[in-house]
Amino acid sequence: MHHHHLPLISNVPLLPSSLILCPPSPNSRSPRRRITLVRASMDGNGELPLVLLVRPLFPAFEDSLRQHFRFLLPWESTLPTHEFLSANARSIRALLCFGPSPVDGSTLSCLPGLQCVVATSAGVDHIDMDECRRRGILVTNAGDVFSDDAADYAVGLLIDVLRRISASDRFVRSGLWPIRGHYPLGFKLGGKRVGIIGLGSIGSRVAKRLEAFGCTILYHSRTTRPSLAYKYFSNVCDLAAESDVLIVTCALTRETHHLINKDVLLALGKDGVVINIGRGALIDEKELVRCLREGVIGGAGLDVFENEPNVPKELFAMDNVVLSHHRAIFTPESFSGLLQLVIDNLKAFFDGRPLLSPISA
């Protein structure tokens, strides 16, 4: 199997040539080449639409994106960012926000003409949504493109924790099987009561998968989903009290910060397992580590942490914990789906059509 390694670089690569309509340089008098292959829509000046970046593009996305859009790169300027933004404010209507780079109030205040922010993640806690709502700025997220992979990962983490897959793989690789004879037993997944926190695009897919394993699905969400026959809990503690497993798949907002706290963990109980593929700050991490250390809960599978890439080192010695480095959605399919969605959202915006994955208020 091949890995696509995408190193994050900070210098901007050159524009690819040939297939792209070259934007005119300010002093050039040479005629523009018009290439009919280009499918991009043009703005009023016959140029590709302009999009502000807050950090460099993924190299793997670069070629495709630059076929459709021109990008404004604040870090290339000698001006401080806010001055640069203000100087270009008139021409900035759209912002493409890769990864978790913040789009905060002070950035937004430099961009009076901004009408659309295209984000590349499912969660948008790094974007000042209050300010966007106030100004009527449309924000899009990753929609459903990641949801299957995220759900698969959550299920994979859960099976790993219960059946000790990573821990016993370590055991075998260290040559201990012939010496120790056997590995401690795990716990059965079938029949477990799984409490899902956030029954959106990802949570509902987790539910569908785990039902096939014989799990009973319970949930807490901002709104009920009456079309799904799962038991709803308006209170996360109550959900935890009736669950053997908690799976966190909700958005991080002011209200959900440290949603999983000491009380919830206590209610979950000593055989309980927590799986987090949402955001680290959804769980009170210090409290989680204490509960694992003291056996208040039974185990955890964590893809996200409060202060990445820092992971509490106490967890490294625990066999009832599975750790990974925020990559629940890192598959070629999710990435190419994301690229297409970003292009489609931006094109829709510039064409005046409805956005594909807008975040509703």
- CB of 13 vs another protein, minimal distance in Å: 16
In the complex, minimum distance from the CB of residue 180 to another protein, in angstroms, rounded to a whole number: 9
279 included as an active-site residue? yes
Interface contacts to another protein, rule CB under 8 A: 1, 3-8, 58, 99-100, 148-149, 151-153, 155-157, 159-160, 162-166, 168-173, 175, 177-178, 181-183, 185-190, 208-209, 211-214, 308-309, 311, 316, 322-327, 330-335
CB 162 within 8 A of CB 191: no
Identify the CA nearest to 22 among candidates 14, 206, 86. 14
- The catalytic position among 66, 93, 279, 285 is 279
Shortest distance, position 348 Cβ to another protein, whole Å: 26
Least Cβ distance, residue 121 to another protein (angstroms): 13
Residue (3 or 33) nearer to another protein, CB: 3
What is the rounded CA–CA span in Å between residue 100 and residue 106? 17
Instruction: Phi first, then psi: give them for residue 4, nearest 5 degrees.
Output: -100, 105
Sign of the Cα torsion 295, 301, 307, 309 reads positive
For the CB of residue 210, give the shortest distance to another protein in the complex, in Å. 8
Q: 49 or 123: whose CB is closer to another protein?
A: 123
Alpha-carbon torsion 252, 254, 255, 257, what sign? Answer: positive
Calculate the alpha carbon distances from 267 to 23, 121, 215 in Å: 61, 31, 19
Residue whose C-alpha is closest to residue 54's, from 104, 6, 122, 3: 104
Of 209, 225, 290, 326, which is the active-site residue? 326
Taking CA 202 as the corner, what is the angle to CA 68 and CA 324, rounded to the nearest 5 degrees?
90
What phi, psi does 53 have (nearest 5°)?
Answer: -110, 150
Does 326 qualify as catalytic in the annotation? Answer: yes
CB 173 to another protein: min, Å: 5
Q: Which of 308, 325, 327, 353 is catalytic?
A: 308
Nearer to another protein, 324 or 357 (CB): 324
Burial of 134 (0-12, 13-18, 19+ CB in 10 A): exposed
Structure tokens of 108?
């937004």
CB-nearer residue toward another protein: 178 or 352 = 178
Smaller CB distance to another protein: residue 179 or 361? 179
Identify which of residues 162 and 291 has a Cβ nearer to another protein in the complex: 162
C-alpha 73/C-alpha 60 separation (Å) is 18
Residues with active-site annotation: 279, 308, 326
